[in-house]
Amino acid sequence: MMPGLREPTEGEFRTPYTFGSLLLLSIFILFLLLQPLWKEGYPQLEVVQYASFFVGVLLQLIGQWKKENKRNFILGLLVFTGGAVLLFVNYSNVLS
């Protein structure tokens, strides 16, 4: 244990990841999700709206992870997953 850090209490969890590494990972995942939309010629404004939604949710998610708030982290994860599923369904209908 490093000096100045307390032991985690019950219900808390620690992460070895830094905010920056989680942010880079989330931007990479976002790029992978939005790349098919960009290639299909979607209007740039619509792609930017999707991107801003996902970045906002991911920043909220990372913030809750860092605060060790499990309930809000799980809720944010559900919102992000739901948005990703809706995005996938939306562009899979366009591609077919």
The pLDDT tens digits of the residues spanning 27-79 come to 777 777 777 766 777 666 666 777 777 777 777 777 777 777 777 777 777 77
Residue type, position 31, single letter:
F
Q: Evaluate if pTM is beyond 0.85.
A: no
- Flag whether 33 is in a domain: yes
Other CB atoms within 10 A of residue 48 CB: 11
When pLDDT is cut at 50, 70 and 90, the band that residue 5 belongs to is: low
Rg (CA), the chain: 17
When pLDDT is cut at 50, 70 and 90, the band that residue 85 belongs to is: confident
User: By residue range, what is the domain housing residue 79?
Assistant: 19-95
Q: Which two structure tokens, joined as six digits, stand for 21?
A: 């590494």
Residue 8 has a pLDDT of 60
When pLDDT is cut at 50, 70 and 90, the band that residue 19 belongs to is: low
Whether 61 and 80 have beta carbons less than 8 Å apart is answered as yes
Q: How many domains does the chain divide into? A: 1
- Flag whether 12 is in a domain: no
